[in-house]
Amino acid sequence: MKRTILQNRVLYVGFIVCLPILLNGCFWPFTAMDGELVRTRKTVSSAASTETEETLPEGMDAETKEEELQSLPVEPDEELPAPAPLELTAPVPEEPEAPIPEEALPPAPEEPIALAQKTPTAPAPEEPIAPAAEEVEPAAPEEAVSPTPEVPVTPAPEEAPVVEEKKASIEDAPRLAEKYPGLATGILSQAVLQDLGSGDLLSSGDISITEDSFNEALSKMPEEERKADDPLTFDVFEHMATKILLARRVKEETGVTPEDPAWEGAMQAYYDKVAGPAKTTEEEAAAFYLENKDLFADTPFDTVREELRAYLGEERQKAAFEKHLRNYGKEVPVKVHGPWVAQQAGRFKNNVIDKALDEGKPLLVDFYAHWCGPCMHMKPTLEKLGNQYADVLNILFIDVDKHTVLAKRHRADSIPLLLLYDAKGDLVTRLEGYQEETELMRELQKVGVQ
């Protein structure tokens, strides 16, 4: 019996000592992380202490244990420290605390390593198949892209050079004023010379002037005017083009058509916008008065000041608008039929003024009308000077009622108008209004007439 109890006690102590290790073996898979490892230690130590105090050997309950203890005779040699093993159980939680990290921590890295090796072994090489799919996917867009460039590639080289050639031909084509100086004075100065070849004399966007329509307009002119200015047919053509091109510009900007009652107002508004304000300063009027004091005789400046300012303002507006017309072809593409223009340029020099300039002498041109009082009052003086200096000076009288085209060409809007050219054919002086003989002689001296 004594031997049995000792055996049972040994088993009991061994069970108690091994129980934490067994528990540690059961919970170690959950100790992979440091935080979980701490909780496992606490659980194991508390479980060990609890079981040490309360657990009995297997197959023995408390009543049996008491009966056995009571049945044993008390012997003096018997070591009562039998419960000592029970007291030794107290340090049991301390003993497993030291070995637990040593036994649990080494396996902790082994298990994740095993898991890391097992997890990527099969899928790891198989996952790179995704790039293979990516390589196939770009192949599809490449096949789709390849036809798209091929379609435009063929027409692109064919059309692009054609457009470039057209642009180059327009830019390289001569301008009318460059090839035929003096022929165009207004809106066709910067027109491009090209062979339109379709019966058109002018082409600009949606506008065209055909040779038939122009000849019809010529036939409506008075026969006397048409014969007098026959060499200046191009001037009639330019005047016609000016009306049509400006009408399109005003219609685009205002929406008003020539049939609209507000058309004249729209044209005047366009003129004012282009020409700018007509006002001039008093200083400008005074300077003009001093430079042309002979024109005003003994009239004080204060008397003619406002009239001078209005006159100079109008002249400034005219000059600005004429400049706008001469540069119109730079802003809006205008093409004219080159062969027809060449014919008109050959006939242009047959007008009376250019024929007189070909004589190589200074020329004084007088634009007049029989109904103009100052013109008729100044005409005898001019005739006298013409006879007096006939060897070195030519004087030409132009009736604005007969030579309407020539008068428009030289802007004879107010008469009398005197134009003085030197022997080279260059314009030296432009005088408007009545001129005294002394003033005329002063101007003639500028061209060598003494």
Q: Which residues are catalytic?
A: 372, 375
Q: What is the 3-state secondary structure (H, E, C) of the chain?
A: CHHHHHHHHHHHHHHHHHHHHHHHHHHHHHHCCHHHHHHHHHHHHHHHHHHHHHCCCCCCCHHHHHHHHHHCCCCCCCCCCCCHHHHHCCCCCHHHHCHHHHHHCCHHHHHHHHHHHHHHHCHHHHCCHHHHHHHHHHHHHHHHHCHHHHHHHCHHHHHHHHHHHHHHHHHHCCEHHHHCCCCCCCCCCCCEEECCCCCEEEEECCEEEEHHHHHHHHHCCCHHHHHHCHHHHHHHHHHHHHHHHHHHHHHHHHCCCCCCCCHHHHHHHHHHHHHCCCCCCHHHHHHHHHHCHHHHCCCCHHHHHHHHHHHHHHHHHHHHHHHHHHCHHHHCCCEEEHHHHHHHHHHHCCCHHHHHHCCCCCEEEEEECCCCHHHHHHHHHHHHHHHHCCCCCEEEEEECCCCHHHHHHCCCCCCCEEEEECCCCCEEEEEECCCCHHHHHHHHHHHCCC
378 CB-contact burial (10 Å; exposed 0-12 / middle 13-18 / buried 19+): buried
